[in-house]
């Protein structure tokens, strides 16, 4: 068997492995499940921390996501009423960090989509003496940050309300091995082509 045929068959085999490997990481289209990272920012508009800014993010596993009609997903919790989907939920404002572990709301955090478009967030949690609520009012995402200490008349010591930007999707990085693996295949293919070219040239000289 010639070197040309051997190299060609090995190259095709490795290319097939590369495609299968890529598909296993969700690179083959929307049919593959993926982890989607959403990021948003907060700006205080009313209260003692008016003008202050914060950040937030949540990680969504779209395994059960269809993109059709209204869909709501909750945390990976046996007590959750909604389908699993929210892997993590983090908010930072006023120097205080909140996470999914501090959520005390009923069946939250939760996120809702309509025909694939995110339209609602729901989070209610605590961190020490501070509370955070993230929700939707009309078409706007909003938040309320407050101190849980109460005055005699029942008012909170301080609270700040504000706006939340529409969460945007950021790309979850590929596993470190995948780019290296694919680049290695590219290099192998290049070497294979050079060998086939040299073989063809040698045959040409031999028949001259």
Interval 111-143: pLDDT, tens = 999 999 999 999 999 998 899 999 998 889 999
Q: How far apart are CA 123 and CA 167, in angstroms?
A: 14
User: Which residue is it, tokens 């295949």?
Assistant: 185
pLDDT of 163 reads: 95
Domain range annotation of the chain: 1-31+181-199, 35-170
Q: Are 95 and 129 in contact (CB under 8 A)?
A: no
Whether 159 shows a pLDDT value over 50: the answer reads yes
**Mean pLDDT computed over every residue of the chain:** 72
């Amino acid at each position: 068997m010639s070197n040309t045929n051997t190299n060609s068959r090995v190259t095709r085999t490795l290319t097939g492995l590369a495609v299968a490997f890529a598909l296993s990481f969700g690179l083959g289209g929307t049919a593959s499940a993926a982890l989607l990272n959403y990021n948003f920012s907060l700006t205080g508009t009313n209260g003692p921390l008016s003008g202050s800014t914060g950040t937030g993010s949540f990680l969504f596993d779209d395994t059960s996501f269809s993109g059709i009609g209204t869909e709501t997903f909750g945390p990976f919790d046996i007590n959750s009423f909604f389908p699993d989907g929210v892997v993590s939920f983090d908010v930072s404002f006023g120097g205080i960090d909140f996470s999914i572990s501090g959520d005390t709301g009923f069946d939250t955090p939760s996120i809702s989509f309509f025909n694939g478009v995110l339209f609602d967030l729901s989070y209610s949690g605590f961190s020490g003496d501070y509370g955070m609520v993230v929700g939707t009012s009309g078409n706007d995402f909003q938040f309320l940050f407050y101190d849980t200490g109460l005055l005699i008349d029942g008012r909170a010591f301080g609270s700040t309300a504000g706006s939340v930007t529409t969460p945007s999707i950021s790309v979850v990085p590929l596993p470190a091995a995948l780019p290296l693996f694919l680049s290695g295949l590219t290099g192998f293919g290049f070497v294979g082509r050079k060998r086939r070219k040299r073989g063809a040239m040698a045959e040409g000289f031999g028949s001259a």
